[in-house]
Each structure stands twice: as structure tokens, then as C-alpha cells.
Amino acid sequence: MSYHKDREVNSALIRLMDALCSWERNTSRRSTLIFIPHNVDEDTVLVSDGKPIKVFGVSPERLLEGALKARSTKSDTKRTPP
């Protein structure tokens, strides 16, 4: 699968996804990785829990908003009352 036009960068992204997936499986942690190219002819890469997700018709702004909301919700459940 190709996530980037440059072969070396594409390979690095795949290695990063593999490492994230393994680490998150071992630690029960979760994350969202969003790679947003500045050129519109390149695809946005969305990775949730180390696994790539195909993005169709969703703006990078909405992806970021969703990731931040998930983080905020997770943080709210971890806080202890004063």
C-alpha cells in the first residue's frame, strides 16, 4: 500500500504504523496519527491505533477535530474530582 509518493517516506510511515500497533497492543494505549500534506494532490493519512484508515470526503480539519475530541473525552474520564 502506498501512503506517500516518496518510497523512503512511505516505508518509514509503514514502519511507524507497525511500531505503533505493536506498542499499543502491548500497553493498551491508543492514538491517532494524522499526516496532512500541504499539496492537495496528495492523500491525507489517518492512522488509528496503529492501523491505517481510508479517508473519503472528510477534511483534514474534521479529522483533527475528531482526534482532539477523542483525546479530550479520554482525558475527562481520567481526571479525579478536586
pLDDT profile of the chain (82 residues), mean per 10 = 92 95 94 91 90 88 90 66 50
pLDDT for res 77: 58
pLDDT for res 75: 62
> Which H or E run contains 52?
strand 51-53
**Number of Cβ within a 10 Å radius of residue 41:** 6
pTM value is 0.76
pLDDT for res 52: 92
CA angle 8, 9, 13 (to 5 degrees): 120
pLDDT for res 56: 84
